[in-house]
């Protein structure tokens, strides 16, 4: 298997003018944008709320936390899925010092990558052979038979 060449993010961390609506949304309600990004990426939409509530609860217990774990892990997962250059150290720095800009960049990346996706749906029924049970293929490519 050949190594996949890595690419840069489709937009920079501070490229708010490429998609002003995303950045306005992130500026006025960053938790809402974060939940949207998480949901569109396929994770639980409420997951980023752990970054909002977690540090307050831990600080009340005397445990300071500065790194938002959900933002860092989603950013790293997005880089991994889409083959983007970077490192966990850069993800931590972006998430700690430019959290809103980081969520906006992730939102733009997912939005751009979802534009390129084409879905083909086969509406033809599965062939039926006399004497054999009908077969169908589920969403994971596994053949399912029913008797």
> Residue 3: how many CB atoms within 10 A of its CB?
5
Q: Confidence class of residue 133 from pLDDT cuts 50, 70 and 90?
A: low
| The predicted structure's pLDDT at residue 144 | 58
pLDDT band, very low/low/confident/very high, at 74 (cuts 50, 70, 90):
very high
- State the pLDDT at residue 112: 85
pLDDT of residue 58: 74
pLDDT tens digit sequence for 75-103:
999 999 999 999 999 999 999 888 888 99
* pLDDT score recorded for residue 56: 72
- DSSP states along the chain: -PPPPPB--SS-TT-GGGSHHHHHHHHH-HHHHHHHHHHHHTS-TTTTHHHHHHHHHHHHTT----S-HHHHHHHHHHHHHHTB---HHHHHHHHHH-HHHHHHHHHHHHHHHHHS-------SPPP--TTS--EEE-TTS-EEE--
| pLDDT at res. 2 | 52
> What percent of the chain is modeled with pLDDT above 70?
73
This model's pTM is above 0.75: no
- The domain limits of the chain are 16-115
Report for 107-116, 120-129, 134-143: range of highest mean pLDDT: 107-116
């Amino acid at each position: 298997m050949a190594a996949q060449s890595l690419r840069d993010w489709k937009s920079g961390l501070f490229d708010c003018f490429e998609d002003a609506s995303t950045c306005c949304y992130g500026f006025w309600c960053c938790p809402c944008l974060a939940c949207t990004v998480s949901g569109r990426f396929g994770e639980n939409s409420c997951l980023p709320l752990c970054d909002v509530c977690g540090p307050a609860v831990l600080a009340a217990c005397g445990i300071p936390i500065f790194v938002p774990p959900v933002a860092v892990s989603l950013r790293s997962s997005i880089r991994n899925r889409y083959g983007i250059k970077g490192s966990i150290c850069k993800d931590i720095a972006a998430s700690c010092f430019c959290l809103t800009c980081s969520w906006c960049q992730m939102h733009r990346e997912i939005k751009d990558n979802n534009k390129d996706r084409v879905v083909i749906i086969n509406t033809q029924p599965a062939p039926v052979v006399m004497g054999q049970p009908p077969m169908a293929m589920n969403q994971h490519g596994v053949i399912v038979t029913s008797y």
